[in-house]
Amino acid sequence: MINFNHLRVFFHAAKSQNFTQAAKSLFITQPAVSAQIKALEKTWDLIFFKKRGRKVYLTEEGKILFDYARRIFEYEQDIENLIKDMQQLKMGVLRLGTTKTYARYFMPLMISTFHENHPNIKIQLNEGSSLEMTYSLLEFKNEVAVIAKVEDHPDVRFIPFSREEVVAIAPVGHPLTKKKSVSTKALIREPIIMKELGSGTRKLVTNLFTEAGRTPDVLMETGNTEFIKQLVQRGDGISFLVKEAVWAEVQDRKLAVLPLRGKKLFLDVSVAYLKHQHLSPPAKAFVHILEQIAPGNLTLKGIGSLMAKMLSNRNKRPVSGTKQSTNLPKGKARHDL
C-alpha cells in the first residue's frame, strides 16, 4: 500500500524539480525530502529522479507517477475548498420539518428570508403533523422542525417560538353564537370536525374535554384546514382552529368564534432539534434567524406578529437587484397548526 506522506513529498519535489523548494513548501528540511524520496523508491524498487549537479530530473517512471499524483492532490485541494465552502455556508443542504399549514403560510416568507442571507444553501421542506415531524428528527430525516410540542422526548430540545390562541368556530347564525360564553358541556352536543391525530391543536382540544370529564362527538378528522373551514361554513359541525387561521373568514362573516367559558386555549409552538447531535452550519444559521425574530414574551405573540416583524425587517434592508414584495396575498397572511 502506498505511503501518502512519501507520495506528497514526491509530488512537491516533482512539481518544482527542486528538493530545496519542495522542503520549503512542506515546511521540512531538504535532507528530510531526500530521505522520503529514497524510502518511496526503495519500497517500490523504482527510480523516480535522476540528478545532474544540483538539478533533479524525473525519470520516465517518475513522469508517469507525477501525472497521477498531480490529479490526486488537485482533488485534495478541491476537497479542502469544498469543506471551506460548507463551513462558510457557500453550499450545503437545510432539511426542515413543519406542519402542512405552516408550510403553506409561514415557511415561504421564512425561507425567503433565509435565502436572502444564504442564497447557495438548498432547502428540503418536509410536511406532516407535529408528532410526525418530531419523529422525523429522531430518524434524521430533518434537522430542525417548527412544530407544536405534542409530546416530550428526552432526545429532542424544544425552544419556545410563538404562542397561538386556538378558538372554537361555528357557522354564522349557529345558536351558540348568540351566547356570551359557551361551556364545554354545550360543545359535546355538537358534531366536531377535529384536526388529525398527532397535531398540537388536536391534543389541546382533547385535553379540554378530558379535563371536563366529557367525550367530544367527533364527526370526522382531517389535517386539511381549508376543508375544515368549508365544512363548518356549510353547517356540518363546529371545530377548533388557531385564531389567526380563521381571521379572514371571521372578518368576512363567513365564520363565527364561540367564546369559551372561563378559559382560553393557547398552543405553544417550538423550534425543535436533537439535543445530542451537532447541527450543520445551515441548520445553525436557520435557528439563529428564528431566534432573532422570536419575541421575548410569548403571551401575545403569534406567527402573524412574527411575519409582520419579518416583513418590516425586509423593508428596512432591500436586496440589491431584487424587488421584494411587502404585501401578502389576500387570505394568505394567516395560519394555523
Model's pTM, two decimal places? Answer: 0.75
Closest alpha carbon to 101 in 226, 207, 251: 226
Residue range 278-299, pLDDT digits in tens: 999 999 999 998 888 765 554 4
Q: Three-state SS across 105-153?
A: HCHHHHHHHHHHHCCCEEEEEEECCHHHHHHHHHCCCCCEEEEECCCCC
Q: Are residues 283 and 155 in the same domain?
A: yes
Residue range 127-156, pLDDT digits in tens: 999 999 999 999 999 999 999 989 889 999
Tell me the pLDDT band of 126, cut-offs 50, 70 and 90. very high
- The reply to whether 331 falls in a domain is no
- The reply to whether 321 falls in a domain is no
User: What is the rounded distance in angstroms from the CA atom of residue 236 to the CA atom of residue 189?
Assistant: 13
Tell me the pLDDT band of 73, cut-offs 50, 70 and 90. very high
* Domain end residue (candidates: 232, 267, 302): 267
Alpha-carbon torsion 219, 220, 226, 231, what sign?
negative
* Domain end residue (candidates: 69, 87, 105): 87
The answer to whether 287 and 144 are in contact (CB under 8 A) is yes
- The reply to whether 311 falls in a domain is yes
- The reply to whether 334 falls in a domain is no
Please, what is the average pLDDT of the chain?
87
Residue range 225-241, pLDDT digits in tens: 999 999 999 999 999 99
* pLDDT at position 313: 62
Q: Are residues 133 and 279 in the same domain?
A: yes
